Structure 1
Amino acid sequence: MGTREEVTAWRPRVPGVTEVFHARFTDYAYPMHVHEAWTLLIVDDGAVRYDLDRHEHGTPHDTVTLLPPHVPHNGSPATPHGFRKRVLYLDGTRLGDDLIGPAVDSPDLRDPVLRRRVGQLHTALAQPGDELEADSRLTLIGDRLRACLRPRTAEADRRDPELARRLRELLDERVVPGIALDEAAALVRAHPAHLVRSFSAAYGIAPHQYLMSRRVDRARGLLLEGRAPAEVAAATGFYDQSHLTRHFRRLVGVTPGRYRGSAR
């Protein structure tokens, strides 16, 4: 069988993510190697077999694999048609050294919620302008990983309406420029994961969804004034017109152009 390789890699504007790597390999085998970063891996098709710390492991499509930094591992297809995978490389700000031992012992995690969240994160990372969503999703993923690997030390899911209110005020003040999750957490003096959970519990919506809703509301007003969608996108904090269109259609049901054209 001939070699078939498809690779896409980029560095998103999300703190702690050093690289996003999507690949399809038919018969390529990785030799033993190490990474400086944590490796968070999901396989969408096929399977990978690999050795980590002299033990053999596998990655069926329903698992999330977490490989710690500086620990040698390899990788090769475990099915005749190869594998398709999506990988995140995360620096130490996202996952601490205390998880290295548990990750070596149990690198493959069968957790449907975690698997779904990692897939959603990759979708967000592929969309310029959705950095707050990606950062929020990654924060909750890190919290879930810690709960899986060290359940006794996982932070309890507590409601904190006052903290949620303070974050909402920050988002309201910065609808157009936006705010990074770590900056918001520093301003309100809370752990990012607790901040996201508190906001979602209080308002029934994630912080990034709230911010996009506020931006779309502003965009509606400007469109009804007759302003062009590209101009509205820039004025309301969207990355570009396609970014506006994606979120506008999701929340309003039509594109900004059709909405503008319907105005009387």
Structure 2
Amino acid sequence: MLCSQTALWRDPALPHVESRRACHSRACYKAHSHPTFSIGAVDAGHSHFSGAAHGQERLTPGTLVLVPAHRVHACNPEPGQPWSYQMLHVDAEWLNQLRQESGLGGAGPCEPARICREAAVYVQFCELNSLLFSSASNSEKDAALITFLGDLDFAAHAPLAAAPALGATALSGLIAHLESQDPAQLSLEVLAREAGLGRYQLIRTFRTATGFTPHAYLLNARVNRGRQLLGEGQALAKVAYQLGFADQSHFQRVFKAHVGVTPGQYRGR
């Protein structure tokens, strides 16, 4: 018999977001609301959700629900059946500020929840949540959260204008600034202010110009530098420290995701 398990993630350094994972749960909830913008994802089993625009919806694995703050809703498994799910809560005022930076208004009162059944979005949500539960730096987690919310949520409220173009000089200056930073200390807020953009606007603009978000660009540059240092025979722990990773395990995870082998395998020892 499978046991029910619940894992919670929160960090005082990122007070605007928290997450929960529940596996093989049979818990049922009365109709309720949250003061946060909430995203739920069904991982396994089937459930019934109330709070969307068209009444009760049956949710299958891979489905997301986006619930505005204060929207009354309920989501429960089919009678007698377990289900597994993830739940992300984002501070409503923090999200409204992020929207306003991109020229959008805040969420209106009593908006219905939205259902998303796109497989690619579910995968992106799972990647975000895995990152939140990992040892990645807080700046990397925050950047991933902003990117996901902007890509998923903002376009649903109003068509986004094309990302502002960065001139060659501005882009070169931004890249030089990025490459001088410690990944753990990189501040999207500072970068955006220097570029005269909102945080999500900066991500869109930089991604259009380079194919990377700022954090992804910096991680890629650090991995390339890591390949050089490992090729010189330096120890894994020393390389991870020099490159500003939180710990050796984080370096190994990022390196393998970029290169396809672990740092130790790459070094040949």
Shorter-chain TM-score bucket reads 0.7 to 0.9
Find the residue that maps to 1:30 and give its secondary structure.
coil
Could you tell me which runs of 5 or more consecutive residues in structure 2 were left unpaired when the two chains were aligned: 100-104
SS of structure 1 residue aligned to 2:69: coil
Counterpart position of 1:46: 45
| 1:140-179 correspondence to structure 2 within 5 Å | 140-143=147-150, 144-148=152-156, 150=157, 153-162=158-167, 164-175=171-182, 177-179=184-186
Q: What is the CA distance between 1:214 and its match in structure 2? A: 1.7
Partner SS for 1:94: helix
AA in 2 matched with 1:255: T
Relative to structure 2, which stretch is displaced further, 225-234 or 190-199? Answer: 225-234
C-alpha spacing 1:24/1:250, structure 2 compared with 1 (3 Å): closer
Match of 1:209 among 191, 205, 216: 216
How far the C-alpha of 1:16 sits from its partner, in A, is 6.0
Distance change in 2, residues 1:80/1:165 (3 Å): farther
d(CA) in 1 for partners of 2:23, 2:183: 38
| Structure 1 CA distance for aligned equivalents of residues 145 and 204 of structure 2 | 13
Structure 1 Cα separation of the partners of residues 184 and 146 of structure 2: 21
Residues 1:14 and 1:68: Cα distance change in structure 2 (over 3 Å): farther
Asked if the contact 2:139/2:184 (under 8 Å) is kept, the reply is: no
1:123 to 115, 120, 130: 130
Match in the other structure for 1:72: 72
Instruction: Mark the CA change 1:113 to 1:49 in structure 2 (over 3 Å): closer, same or farther.
Output: same
**Alignment length (residue pairs):** 257
* Corresponding residue to 2:203 among 183, 196, 199: 196
* Pair 33,43 (structure 1): closer, same or farther in 2 beyond 3 Å: same
Cα separation, partners in 2 of 1:106 and 1:226, compared to 1, 3 Å? closer
- TM-score w.r.t. length of structure 2: 0.80
CA shift at 1:34, angstroms? Answer: 2.8
Per the TM alignment, residue 190 of structure 1 is displaced from its structure 2 partner at its CA by: 0.8
SS in 2 for 1:33: coil
Structure 1: stretches of 5+ with no match in the other structure: none
* Whole-angstrom distance in 2 between the partners of 1:13 and 1:226: 38
Q: Go from structure 1 to structure 2 and tell me whether the alpha carbon gap of 1:122 and 1:194 turns closer, same or farther (over 3 Å shift).
A: same
| Deviation at residue 176 of structure 1 after TM alignment | 5.0
Q: TM-score, normalised to structure 1's length?
A: 0.81
Distance 1:251 1:3 in 2: 35
Q: What is the CA–CA distance in structure 1 between the aligned matches of 2:13 and 2:30, rounded to whole Å?
A: 29
